[in-house]
Chains A and B, each alone.
Chain A
Amino acid sequence: MSLWVDQYRPRSLEDLHYHLELSNRLKSLASSGDFPHMLFYGPSGAGKKTRITCTLRQLFGAGVEKLKIDQRVFLSPSKRKIEVNIVQSNFHIEITPSEAGNYDRVVIQELLKEIAQTQQVDLNAKQRFKVVIINEADSLSRDAQAALRRTMEKYMSNMRIILCANSTSRLIAPIKSRCLLMRVAAPNAEDMQAVMQHVSKRAGFDLPPDVAGKIIDDSGGNLRKAILCLEALKMQSPDLSGALTIAKPDWETYCHKVADLIISQQSPARVMEVRQKFYELLSHCIPPTIILKTVADRVVERVDEAIKADVMHWAAVYEVRMRTGSKKIYHLEAWVVKVMSLYKHFLFDMDLTGFDD
């Protein structure tokens, strides 16, 4: 009894509900025998992984669904043990190098070479090559990406690489040029509506379109989120009628609380309170960029038109700094203070010239 989102996941390219063109192209690529390296990118919850799995099934048949997990231990140059979990079938292998943190280069180098240097021994296999899926490719370090470059060309005969990323901006150009780029855009409202109707039909109930619409609005193009939400809602009130409130995840409500704190008072004591809340969120594994985005969205909702642009501008500035820096909280806090200052000045209607130096 899995969650619906896992239970009703499409298994083959034919089952996919949207981006049909993409599905067709994948299908023909898989059957052509000349399968390139690929880079799937798009926002989370758009269906990248699902499409990758379907493509693999198209390539190798149902055998790819027999998955097992292995834990491999690599040695860093400084003799530190790095544990990496590997999901694999007979035909493909899936790694998340970002698990190894700074040592992802070691993982990429050793693992890829190892796979590339062995040929497919199963004579009945449909393809002569194996596929390596690299998850979270956009969090690969520079070194790891560089290590990937030559490998991708050299071992083309034995191996294909499928990269999966949220955005291509952090991938170096040589990698992008070696891959076939596959953009999996977030589904639009109609696509989502269709998928959700399909899910509800399979789950055995009728989904009123307006309820679905509400969920879709809330999910922001994240289909995973939408379906999880639908299930939660169904569990909450089985007949899906009446005034439905879509429960927000815990961290989101918490972020909104932080935003309200910023708006309601601007003082050093309040900044420290907010800092404590940020620490709480960060230590509970909410990525800092998500925190900043959620809080900033909420703040923008609540402040006056005049300073909305400024708030967002500074959120963008500090997000970039956050990505380059190491102690995220510093940048989050700097943004909070900036917003407080902006807001206060706006409240007292001060001349802001020369402020943002």
Chain B
Amino acid sequence: MVDDSDEEPSTKKPTTSAKPRKSALLSSSDEEAPPKKPTTTAKKSNTTNSSAEPKARASLPAKMDIVSDSEEAPPAVKKRKKPSIVVSSSDEDEDKPSPPPKKKAAISGSSSKPKARASLPAKKNADEDFVISSDEDGPSAPKAKAKAKAPVKRAAKKEKDEAEPEGKGKGKGKAPAEESKTASKPNWAAIQAAKARGPAAPGSKTVPDGEDNCLFGLAFVFTGELSSFSREEAVDIAKRFGGRVVGQPSSKTDFVVLGEDAGQSKLNAIAKHGLKTLNEDEFLQLIATRKGNGKAVDDKTKKKLEKEQAAIKAAAKEMDKKEKEAIKEAGASSSKVVDPSTQLWTTRYAPQTLKDICGNKSAVEKLEAWLKDWPQSYKAGFKKPGKNGMNMYRAVLISGSPGIGKTTSAHLCAKLAGYTPIELNASDTRSKKLVENGMNINNKSLDGFFAGTSTSNSDTMITDRTCLIMDEVDGMSAGDRGGVGALNALIKKSKIPIICIANDKGAQKLKPLMSTTYGLSFAKPQASTIRSRMMSIVYREKMKIPANVIDQLIAGAQSDIRQVLNMLSTVKLSSNSLSFDEGKELTKMNEKYTIMSPFDLTSKILGPYLFSHTARETLGDKMELYFQDHSFMPLFIQENYLKTQPAKARNEEGPDKEMKMLRLMDKAASSISDGDLVDGMIHGPEQHWSLMPLHAVCSTIRPASFIYGTGAHYGGPNAMSFPKWLGQNSSQNKLNRQLNEVQVRMRLKVSGDKNEIRQSYIPALYPYIVLPLVEQGASAVDDIIDRMDDYFLSKEDWDTIVELGVGDIDYETVLKKKISPQAKAALTRKYNASEHPIPFHKAVDLGKAPKKLVADQVPDHEDAFELDEIVEDVSDDEKNTKDPEGINNDKLIKASKKKAAAKK
């Protein structure tokens, strides 16, 4: 903001400074109206001006005294200059205007400076301001807090409605507009350029300083592209003021904030539910005017709020009480008393009852029931499935992401079911030997009988009922040789319940456990389930953190309760409160690195938001997307880049649109081609890996910057697809190899190389060795085989030749439709029944056991073969003598062997 106001004084005079803006404005309004209607355009621009002009001027007097007045620059020069600049800058797809400074403003949030506020209206883009309807002034003006903005706005409005008091100003306001209009009218290129520019300027708007929680209880849906905020920012703003943001509009939605290009399904939903819609300015206005902290909320939500508060307080009190009890108990039983305030929050606030566990209620209940039933199941020999079918298993495998209470639940359930949990985790060596010997697996330990209440070296009490918790089973690795296998063997004969815990149950390592354990997956708990508990902890710690900040922390940690608690305890060290922005920073710092799938990345890169004017991503951020999967991203982009509706061609119609699209596609395609050249240098003999960033830009970012837009989604007619290049490339390699075979065989007769074979010989041979089979059927078989023998072609080569056909003689159509199965069978039979010249033996084939024999499903043959194999190991020579016929082992007589098979 300060930067912005600095820039203004440099312009000569307030009146002149408004002009360049106007001409820019003019071109942008041109773009909305079809170029062939100059009259409407003129009118429109005039109205735009009359509102915009005074606005700008009215805001400026504040700064006037700072500005030294120098001589006025001739307006004509200025005005003519501007459009030409626009042309040059936006002709070649203009780079994004650098992110407006409003982000800074957005972050500074509540700590507003009066100075900044004063200059705020001036900063607003003229064309955006005039959209604000008159009723907005009503509530904001009488406010005690009334910012400089309100009077300015009113002044602007007044000037707009009545004739402007300064005639001079008006004349100046209008005349240049018309001049620039006429000047730019013949300038066809300028109009074109303005069209290419896309939506209205991303002029920055500041977020008003609404009261805290002023949007509390309201549900918002955002759709379409806002003119000055990116989607994420807008959602952020709504959340900052306590609003709820949901994805799809429903009857419970309070407001829908509509941007450009709103999704049709959302529009339908709006119409269906009769929802209130807001545009961007109305949305901001709502924030500025609505009363905060639940004052504007209706009774129902107020009551709900109060109830929530009461629940939080009650929970906190409960916690207090429990802690005291625990201390008392501990004090009574032993001398060792742990002061709760020295404990980590994660231990201190660990759930004490099943009720305390956040989320996964049913899974936890199942686990408890299973543990309770375990002795009975054991007696029944694990034959009775029980209610959940769980009682067939001696062990359970709990899986789920970190920090959602898997270990806690396991311990708690074990305790509640009356077991003594013994935990082994990755910090213990869990090799086969130790797993087998070190655990009380046969339930023979007498500890419980002897020691009674004494504690063993760890804090756990050994009783007659123990339960083994194998934590972090997916961490069993190198040192734990045979660990998982041994564990699995253990599970099969265990006399105590075993609970295994892992993060990823799909891991290859855990395959053996799949059949012996009951898989119990823990899902990430919903933010709402965690929130209340976090709130009561916060309350108990006497911190002041609003619910929306907690929500944000939870979302940022991806429902990792442990991480949220750790973050909160860190905050507690320095202060007792946490604002929205601090929370955001904190989550960013603790952000877990997440990997998106190539599909998600593609839809993000090609989607309408990443390159829109309001996007805040830097080039580095965009390249980061490529580096998430640098081998796949270029392929995905190339596969899918034609599936978007380019946002850049959005404002065009008819042939212009088609041409614009083709131009954009052309640029994207040539950039992809550039990318391949760079790729060649990276993967070539020189291996210039330092070119990776360039490859990222050429292959992924730059193409997307041209053709980004809606359309590349999952599903629908233009669904994103997996790159076909991979499949096509492998089939190309396969056919190439086969063609090589053919060429080598034909080599004795034919001088041509591989390409010549494909391009000339195969079409020439086709009428001799394939077509007769189509036309004459089985009777042509002899001629075909003669011809094949001439060129030393085998039956496999014949298949290759058929496979290599394209178009009308495509493999599928020829083999499946044109050639009758009888004819084909005749060819195969006949070919196999006779002997054929072969040009050479493949080196790899010699000395190999004949494959064909294995294929035959004759039992005694198979036995003989197996016997052969054993002998083969002893000595090759011996094998030959043992097999009197020698046929099976001799490649040269392969054909005759087959004949025997055929006869049979």
Chain A contacts to B: CB under 8 angstroms: 1-3, 5-6, 9, 44-45, 49-50, 53, 67-73, 83, 85, 87, 96, 99, 135-136, 142-143, 222, 224-225, 228-229, 231-232, 235, 249-251, 253-254, 257, 266-269, 271-272, 276, 279-287, 290, 318, 321, 324-327, 329-331, 333-334, 336-338, 340-341, 344-345, 348, 350, 354-355, 357
Q: Is the CB of B833 closer than 8 A to any CB of chain A?
A: no
Q: Which residue of A lies closest to B845 (CB)?
A: A71
Contacts A253-B808, A325-B673 given: A135-B758 contact, CB under 8 Å? Answer: no
List the 3 closest A-B pairs by CB distance, nearest first.
A49-B751, A249-B763, A69-B840
Contact of B725 with A338 in the complex, beta carbons under 8 Å: no
Q: Which residue of A lies closest to B783 (CB)?
A: A1
Q: Measured between alpha carbons, how far is A3 from B769 in the docked complex, in Å? A: 12
Contact of A281 with B659 in the complex, beta carbons under 8 Å: no
Q: Is the CB of B728 closer than 8 A to any CB of chain A?
A: yes
Contact of A337 with B749 in the complex, beta carbons under 8 Å: no
Contact of A224 with B756 in the complex, beta carbons under 8 Å: yes
Q: Which residue of B lies closest to A68 (CB)?
A: B840
Residues on the B chain within 8 Å of A67, using CB: 748
Q: Known A-B contacts: A2-B791, A231-B764. Give 18 more (CB < 8 A).
A: A44-B752, A49-B752, A71-B842, A96-B753, A99-B740, A224-B756, A250-B805, A253-B807, A254-B806, A268-B665, A284-B735, A285-B736, A285-B758, A286-B758, A325-B677, A326-B676, A341-B659, A344-B659
Q: Which residue of A lies closest to B707 (CB)?
A: A268
Contact of B841 with A235 in the complex, beta carbons under 8 Å: no
Contact of B669 with A2 in the complex, beta carbons under 8 Å: no
Contact of B669 with A338 in the complex, beta carbons under 8 Å: yes
- Determine which of B676, B732, B763, B841 lies in contact with A250 in the assembled complex, contact meaning CB atoms within 8 Å: B763
Residues on the B chain within 8 Å of A355, using CB: 663
Contact of A2 with B759 in the complex, beta carbons under 8 Å: no
Q: Which residue of B lies closest to A355 (CB)?
A: B663
CB distance from A330 to the nearest CB of B (A): 5
Q: Is the CB of B184 closer than 8 A to any CB of chain A?
A: no
Q: Which residue of A lies closest to B740 (CB)?
A: A99
CB distance from B794 to the nearest CB of A (A): 14
CB distance from B820 to the nearest CB of A (A): 21
Residues on the A chain within 8 Å of B381, using CB: none
Q: Is the CB of B638 closer than 8 A to any CB of chain A?
A: yes
Q: Measured between alpha carbons, how far is A334 from B658 in the docked complex, in Å? A: 17
Q: Measured between alpha carbons, how far is A64 from B200 in the docked complex, in Å? A: 79
Residues on the A chain within 8 Å of B679, using CB: 325-327
Q: Measured between alpha carbons, how far is A228 from B754 in the docked complex, in Å? A: 16
Residues on the A chain within 8 Å of B661, using CB: 268
Contact of A85 with B747 in the complex, beta carbons under 8 Å: yes
Contact of A1 with B758 in the complex, beta carbons under 8 Å: no
Q: Measured between alpha carbons, how far is A16 from B185 in the docked complex, in Å? A: 74
CB-defined A-B contacts under 8 Å, sample of 29: A1-B787, A9-B751, A44-B756, A49-B751, A50-B751, A71-B841, A143-B685, A229-B764, A232-B764, A250-B807, A253-B808, A254-B806, A276-B724, A281-B806, A283-B732, A283-B735, A285-B758, A287-B755, A325-B680, A327-B725, A330-B638, A330-B672, A331-B673, A333-B669, A333-B672, A334-B666, A341-B659, A341-B666, A345-B659
Which of B92, B658, B676, B756 gathers most chain A CB within 10 Å?
A: B676
Q: Is the CB of B662 closer than 8 A to any CB of chain A?
A: yes
Q: Is the CB of B543 closer than 8 A to any CB of chain A?
A: no
Contact of A337 with B764 in the complex, beta carbons under 8 Å: no
Q: Is the CB of B15 closer than 8 A to any CB of chain A?
A: no
Contact of B761 with A228 in the complex, beta carbons under 8 Å: yes
Contact-size category for B:
35 or more
Contact of A271 with B642 in the complex, beta carbons under 8 Å: yes
Q: Measured between alpha carbons, how far is A53 from B744 in the docked complex, in Å? A: 17
Q: Which residue of B lies closest to A3 (CB)?
A: B764
Contacts A135-B753, A330-B638 given: A3-B662 contact, CB under 8 Å? Answer: no
Contacts A143-B685, A285-B804 given: A3-B765 contact, CB under 8 Å? Answer: yes
Q: Measured between alpha carbons, how far is A258 from B800 in the docked complex, in Å? A: 24
Contact of B759 with A290 in the complex, beta carbons under 8 Å: yes
- Determine which of A251, A321, A341 lies in contact with B759 in the assembled complex, contact meaning CB atoms within 8 Å: A251
Q: Which residue of B lies closest to A280 (CB)?
A: B806
Contacts A143-B685, A287-B755, A329-B725 given: A321-B659 contact, CB under 8 Å? Answer: no
Contact of A279 with B728 in the complex, beta carbons under 8 Å: yes
Contact of A272 with B642 in the complex, beta carbons under 8 Å: yes
Q: Measured between alpha carbons, how far is A3 from B767 in the docked complex, in Å? A: 11
Q: Which of B843-865 contact A (CB under 8 A)?
A: 843-844
Contact of A357 with B662 in the complex, beta carbons under 8 Å: no
Contacts A267-B658, A325-B676 given: A83-B843 contact, CB under 8 Å? Answer: yes
Q: Measured between alpha carbons, how far is A143 from B685 in the docked complex, in Å? A: 10
Q: Is the CB of B423 closer than 8 A to any CB of chain A?
A: no
Q: Is the CB of B376 closer than 8 A to any CB of chain A?
A: no
CB distance from B659 to the nearest CB of A (A): 6
Q: Which residue of A lies closest to B733 (CB)?
A: A283
Q: Measured between alpha carbons, how far is A329 from B729 in the docked complex, in Å? A: 10
Q: Measured between alpha carbons, how far is A73 from B843 in the docked complex, in Å? A: 8
Residues on the A chain within 8 Å of B791, using CB: 2
Q: Which of B705-740 contact A (CB under 8 A)?
A: 724-725, 728-729, 731-732, 735-736, 739-740
Residues on the B chain within 8 Å of A1, using CB: 786-787, 790
Residues on the A chain within 8 Å of B731, using CB: 283
Q: Which residue of A lies closest to B732 (CB)?
A: A283
Residues on the B chain within 8 Å of A340, using CB: 662, 665-666
Contacts A67-B748, A337-B669, A338-B669 given: A225-B805 contact, CB under 8 Å? Answer: no
Q: Which of B780-833 contact A (CB under 8 A)?
A: 786-787, 790-791, 804-809
Residues on the A chain within 8 Å of B759, using CB: 249, 251, 286, 290
Q: Measured between alpha carbons, how far is A83 from B790 in the docked complex, in Å? A: 25
Q: Measured between alpha carbons, how far is A280 from B812 in the docked complex, in Å? A: 13
Residues on the B chain within 8 Å of A251, using CB: 758-759, 763, 806-807
Residues on the B chain within 8 Å of A321, using CB: 673, 676-677
Residues on the B chain within 8 Å of A96, using CB: 753
CB distance from B481 to the nearest CB of A (A): 29
Q: Is the CB of B340 closer than 8 A to any CB of chain A?
A: no
Q: Measured between alpha carbons, how far is A345 from B665 in the docked complex, in Å? A: 14
Residues on the A chain within 8 Å of B806, using CB: 250-251, 254, 280-281, 284, 286
Q: Is the CB of B236 closer than 8 A to any CB of chain A?
A: no
Contact of B732 with A282 in the complex, beta carbons under 8 Å: yes
Q: Measured between alpha carbons, how far is A229 from B761 in the docked complex, in Å? A: 10
Contact of B659 with A350 in the complex, beta carbons under 8 Å: yes
CB distance from B121 to the nearest CB of A (A): 40
Q: Is the CB of B670 closer than 8 A to any CB of chain A?
A: yes
Residues on the A chain within 8 Å of B758, using CB: 251, 284-286
Q: Measured between alpha carbons, how far is A34 from B57 in the docked complex, in Å? A: 96
Contacts A83-B844, A231-B764, A285-B758 given: A266-B662 contact, CB under 8 Å? Answer: yes
Contact of A326 with B843 in the complex, beta carbons under 8 Å: no
Residues on the B chain within 8 Å of A327, using CB: 638, 676, 679, 725
Q: Is the CB of B347 closer than 8 A to any CB of chain A?
A: no
CB distance from A315 to the nearest CB of B (A): 13
Q: Is the CB of B114 closer than 8 A to any CB of chain A?
A: no
Q: Measured between alpha carbons, how far is A251 from B810 in the docked complex, in Å? A: 10
Q: Measured between alpha carbons, how far is A266 from B151 in the docked complex, in Å? A: 56
Residues on the A chain within 8 Å of B642, using CB: 268-269, 271-272
Contact of A334 with B756 in the complex, beta carbons under 8 Å: no
Q: Is the CB of B169 closer than 8 A to any CB of chain A?
A: no
Contacts A327-B725, A337-B669 given: A71-B843 contact, CB under 8 Å? Answer: yes
Which of B663, B665, B844 gathers most chain A CB within 10 Å?
A: B665
Q: Is the CB of B683 closer than 8 A to any CB of chain A?
A: yes
Contacts A279-B728, A282-B732, A287-B755 given: A331-B643 contact, CB under 8 Å? Answer: no
Residues on the B chain within 8 Å of A280, using CB: 806
Q: Which residue of A lies closest to B676 (CB)?
A: A325
- Determine which of A53, A253, A279 lies in contact with B751 in the assembled complex, contact meaning CB atoms within 8 Å: A53
Residues on the B chain within 8 Å of A271, using CB: 642, 665
Q: Is the CB of B310 closer than 8 A to any CB of chain A?
A: no
Residues on the A chain within 8 Å of B728, using CB: 279, 282-283, 329
Q: Is the CB of B750 closer than 8 A to any CB of chain A?
A: yes
Q: Is the CB of B655 closer than 8 A to any CB of chain A?
A: yes
